[in-house]
Structure 1
Amino acid sequence: MRARFILALLLLLNLPRLSMAQAPLNTDTTTVNKKRLVVLGSTFAVGYTAMMVSLNHAWYSNKNRTGFHFFNDNKEWRQMDKAGHFWSAFHESRAGIDMLRWAGVPEKKAILYGGLLGVALQTPIEIFDGYQADYGASVGDMVANTAGSAAVVAQELAWQEIRIMPKYSFHTTRYADMRPNVLGSNLGEQALKDYNGQTYWLSVDVGAFLKEETKYPKWLNVAVGYGAEEMVYNDPEANAAAGLGTYRQFYLSPDLNLMHFKGRSKVWNTALYVLSIIKIPAPALEYNRKNGLKLHPLYF
């Protein structure tokens, strides 16, 4: 949940710069825009410091603290929280790369340095967690963060563009009412906390892998999704004791390649950039071990 909170603030702080996303590659080492780099660095430093202070006060101030330690939470929530960390770190690193491009940083340096942003933003959260008596730093979270950032860097280095985009979708569920203090008592909280209603996708830009002359519609992606349900408690044994049989869900769905619709308007391009992190509602085919195959005419 905190990972998505940081991502949202990062996007809000840098919307003007993100409107320049996917600008022409800069291979000239002498054209760094120092004024933009200073603005970018100072805005990020002030915003990130305020963000960390606020997060530390809001999330940790009333919790018992102990010495730094690790906590193994890899079995919890059917790994939906790890998917969330991957998604958040990916888009934080994606934003970092595009912001450095905006500042004129040479392409490879922008990719390598900007690509570290997801790890840089998420690591302090794990350090904070490491001092909490009720839990601790999660190696699984750190691996997911690193994988998310690495996925951006790998695609940028291999293809000079993003062809496989992690996305997020959400729908309300009945499980939040069973434990609203943990899963959320309103729509905004549930979108962050209720893993039962969250789905994480990998949206593949099929057209980018085909020849230029192909007639395949470049705006049409194919997305595979992952979700889970019947999770009121983080621990599988606690769910079972409550009579809940948690299970994984797998999805296949068409998706829109929103970046294909970029135009001349910076406002329009910025909106597309931000919305590209979300899976557009569409028909979806679901498979799970409990109900088998199921077709959703419109899946959120």
Structure 2
Amino acid sequence: MKNWLLFLILCCSLSASAQIDSISLPKQKLGFFENAPSFNQSRFWTLTGIGITGYSAVTIGLDRAWYANYPRGQFHFFDDWQGWQQMDKFGHAMTGYFESKWAGNLYRWAGLSQRDAAWVGFGTGLLFQTTLEVMDGFSDQWGFSWGDMGFNVIGSGLYLGQELLWKEQRIRLKMSTHRPQYSTQLFQANNSMATTSINARTTNLFGTSPAELLFKEYNGQTIWMSVNVASFLKERPNNFPPKWINVAVGYGIENFFGAESNTWEDKTTGDQFTAPPQYQRHSQFFLSLDIDFERIPTKHKWLKTVFGILNIFKVPFPTLEVNTLGQVKFHAFYF
């Protein structure tokens, strides 16, 4: 609540300064998908009310649907830097980036100046992400992670820094994900004749639903930094490269069947399993092209909104992979 109080104070102070800019401007009919040219009190307080309601609903919902299923105790810190080879950290950065970007865009829609909207977006992204870290801090299963928090700041800071420096997003964080094909071949436990398979382990660990694929399937996720080269060039001979083409570098992992190792325990039977040696845990680095949908020219305001949503995802393109096993691979299309 203290964080929201600070947020509301910030919003009130911004609205007061924005009101001054709107006094001398005549009223005009404003399309729903158009940004208000000056402070729009109705839009501003509607967004703020929805934000408070959404924040409360998400916090209460997570507490009851997720955290209530695990033991809780005193607030504590947790060092999970080695878990998942930092793949989850890059996910934190991307989430913080998009939360801040969307909040900033919404307050631009409400008529705040670009600078003020950028700061509100930055604060909103950090508020949501920090709340989750604090909730983790009271869970015996996890804890408050400074590593997670640092990448939250990096993601939201990437959005804010570009808005203040360039007044546009030249570098975007994106994601792609696919369902890896896991082996169903059985292998034996370390301490008994019990058997399992890689497919059974990943189903139990990552789940099978589309939502679980999106948020939990680390072996199929790639986090991308998509850079718009044209925006850094003063001159583009023959309009090359196109304004909407980006160069993307990505990071992923493969053959991870546990946070820190490929040995795990069946909590029902107590049997321990270790993945066969051919499943070597390794990191992957990718180089590819991408499309910045928000730079595609269009006269339709609603289509710009759709493009903004599509910009979460990296577009499949031919991709070069280099991994920590020393392998170099080429993918005709990679997502």
Contiguous gaps of at least 5 residues in structure 1: 1-16
Percent of pairs with identical residues: 38
Residue in structure 1 matched with residue 46 of structure 2 by the alignment: 39
Is it true that 1:185 corresponds to 2:215 in the alignment?
Answer: no
Residue 270 of structure 1: which of 305, 321, 326 is its match?
A: 305
Following the alignment from structure 2 to structure 1, what is the Cα–Cα distance between the partners of residues 82 and 208?
25
| Residue identity in the other structure for 1:194 | E
Cα deviation, residue 48, structure 1: 1.6
User: Which residue of 2 is the match for residue 98 of structure 1?
Assistant: 105
RMSD of aligned residue pairs (Cα, Å): 2.1
In the alignment, the residues of structure 1 paired with residue 314 and residue 126 of structure 2 have an alpha-carbon distance, to the nearest angstrom, of 24
Contact kept in structure 1, 2:114 and 2:167, CA below 8 Å: no
Could you tell me which residue of structure 1 aligns to residue 93 of structure 2? Answer: 86
Which one scores higher on RCO, CA 8 angstroms, separation ≥ 6? 1
Equivalent positions of 1:1-300 (< 5 A) are 19-20=33-34, 31-173=38-180, 174=182, 177-214=200-237, 215-216=239-240, 217-236=242-261, 238=263, 241-242=274-275, 243=277, 244-290=279-325, 292-300=327-335
Secondary structure in 1 aligned to 2:39? coil
Q: What displacement does 1:237 show?
A: 6.5
Gaps of 5+ in 2: 1-30, 183-197, 265-272
Deviation at 1:106, TM superposition (A): 2.2
Partner Cα separation in structure 2 for residue 221 and residue 105 of structure 1 = 29
Kept in 2, the 8 Å contact 1:163–1:204? The answer is yes
Offset from partner CA, 1:87-137 (integer Å, 9 cap, x none): 000011111111111111122221122222211111111111111112211
Normalising by structure 1, what TM-score? 0.87
Question: Quick check: 1:204–1:223 contact (8 Å CA) kept in 2?
Answer: yes
| C-alpha deviation, 1:34, in angstroms | 1.0
Moved more, 181-190 or 277-286: 181-190
1:18/1:144 Cα in 2 relative to 1: closer, same or farther (>3 Å)? farther
**Larger Cα Rg: Structure 1 or Structure 2?**
2
Aligned with 1:49: secondary structure? helix
Distance 1:88 1:155 in 2: 17
Contact 2:230 2:236 in 1 (8 A): no
Letter in 2 for 1:299: Y
What TM-score results when the alignment is normalised by the length of structure 2?
0.78
Answer whether contact 1:32 1:104 (CA < 8 A) is retained.
yes
What's the offset of the Cα at 1:191?
A: 2.2
Quickly say closer, same or farther: Cα 1:78–1:208, change in 2 above 3 A.
same
My pick for the range that moved more, 112-121 or 61-70, is 112-121
User: Quick one: distance in 2 between partners of 1:148 and 1:79?
Assistant: 14
Deviation at 1:226, TM superposition (A): 0.4
C-alpha distance in structure 1 between counterparts of 2:33 and 2:204, whole Å: 37
